[in-house]
Amino acid sequence: MNRAAALSGLLRHFLLTLQLNFRSTQALIYGYLVPVFFLLAFGSVFRADTPLLLAQMGQILTISILGGACFGLPTALVAERERGVWRRYRLLPVPTGILVIGTLLARLVIVASAAGLQLFLARLIYGTPLPLHPGQAVVAFLFVALAFLGLGLLIAALANDVPAVQALGQCLFLPMIMIGGVGVPLAALPDWAQKLSGFMPGRYAVDVLQHCFTDPAGLRDTGFSIIALTVIGLAASLVGMKLFRWETARRIGRTALVWLTVAMLSWLAVGLTAAATGRLKIILPANTGYERITDEQMSQITYEDLPGDNELVTRLAPPFKQPGDNPFVSEFAAKTAVWPPGQIAEPGQQVRNLLSVAAIADISADLHEAEIGRVIFDELQAHHGRAQLRGILAWIILAPDDGTVITQATDLGLRRHPPERVVRERSTLYAKKYLGRLLGKISD
């Protein structure tokens, strides 16, 4: 068969598959109703976030792709095989690969349209921003979709009937939803589940998609995730093609277990590589990492590199003997005590906000920067127990990029608006000075 005839056959089969899918109620439910259901469910669970659903779009789109690939595709293939459709296809003068590719392309269009519907509804209902990198989002979507379509093809090859598709699909779908970082955010999972998720493609799918929505660097730091999806998707696709069956009467033999082992070894290889390269570090919930800081971690913090209290950087006044004798200190302490960012309920973020004030004053070379540094230390000690404050300060030192920082505090009389990066650096230095005093490592 020449190339023109093969392309013509591919196009005809592609269009026919699309037509049959849009006639199927079951296909429409899996393809469109289920993704919309998950979108609304996430909107209800994360309704307090701002912007709403922006931090969950990677999960939402992954669920949509996963449902279409692990249920929609194999269900359609097996149902057609049971009706004898693929047995008739075998009589066509078209290679098997052409027909399978047509089916995969049709499913890719269906999954892509479902994802587009989710983006549209998220924007319409919740005002969710579009991806920061639209072009990269398309690339990420293709990597994820092709990887999961390979898994769907493998399920179709293994399943003897449609009920078996549901069972096999759930064996993939539920673990990735529950402990694979797809349905439940990684930060909310226990440590063992986070490590186990490194062996599942769902974690890497969420990673590449979410970077396109919220990371200014886009896909720059997702090379491993893209490789992981490619390895798992290729292995599943090759095994699925190897075990592909034209008719129901043909059963898979014992050799299928060998090929299935080959496919699963790709998951194992990805997970072990991720663990060996340090990519399975435990992810802590935002602003609560201090709760897991151990005394051993705290003891590893050093203070030799700190600038002196009277040097140009991170000046810090000695303890106030009579704060009321200094009008500026009294006034600034009163303002700080009612400053809204310093009164939020979440302890970790509250401390970061207050440290940001000391950092801004220091960066601005404020005339009272040393006194402001001391006021902030006193404010922190007044509102937090010693053990909790030690943990929070250690967390800020060990995880300086977690949480958020304040970059301007004009209501406290600080007019400068320094860069976030510098505020984080100075906040970490002040955290070290405060923690050193609490631990007796630095004399006060």
Q: Where are the domains of the chain?
A: 3-276, 289-439
Are residues 95 and 16 in contact, defined by beta-carbon separation less than 8 angstroms?
no
Rounded Cα distance between 257 and 122, Å, is: 42
Percent of the chain with pLDDT over 70: 96
pLDDT at 6: 65
**Sign, CA torsion 35/37/41/44:** positive
pLDDT grade for 267, boundaries at 50, 70 and 90: very high
**Three-state DSSP class for 414?**
strand
- pLDDT category at 1 given cuts 50, 70, 90 is low
Cβ 133 vs Cβ 219: under 8 Å? yes
pLDDT (average), residues 211-219: 89
191 by Cβ neighbours in 10 Å (0-12 / 13-18 / 19+) ranks as exposed
Whether 60 has a pLDDT exceeding 90, the answer reads: yes
Angle formed by the axes of helices 57-67 and 96-121, nearest 10°: 140
User: What per-residue confidence (pLDDT) applies to 2?
Assistant: 63
pLDDT(286) > 70: no
State both tokens at 43. 């909107």
Give the pLDDT confidence of 111-132 residue by residue, as tens digits: 999 999 999 999 999 999 999 9
Q: What is the pLDDT of residues 253-263, one digit of tens each?
A: 777 788 888 89
How distant, in Å, are the alpha carbons of 80, 83, 98, 251, 306 from that of 89? Answer: 10, 12, 11, 18, 74
Is 216's pLDDT higher than 90?
Answer: no
Rounded distance between C-alpha atoms, residue 228 and residue 402, angstroms: 26
Of the candidate ranges 92-101, 138-147, 191-200, the one whose mean pLDDT is the lowest: 92-101
pLDDT tens string 345-400? 788 889 999 999 999 999 999 999 999 999 999 999 998 999 999 999 999 998 88
Residue 277 pLDDT greater than 80, yes or no: yes
The whole-number pLDDT of residue 41 equals: 92
pLDDT given at position 5: 65
Tokens 């984080």 locate to 424
CA distance 132 to 197: 26
What confidence tens digit (pLDDT) does each residue in 412-433 have? 999 889 999 999 999 999 999 9
For all residues of the chain together, what is the average pLDDT? 88
- Using DSSP, state whether 42 is helix, strand or coil: helix
The band of 323, judged by pLDDT with boundaries at 50, 70 and 90, is low
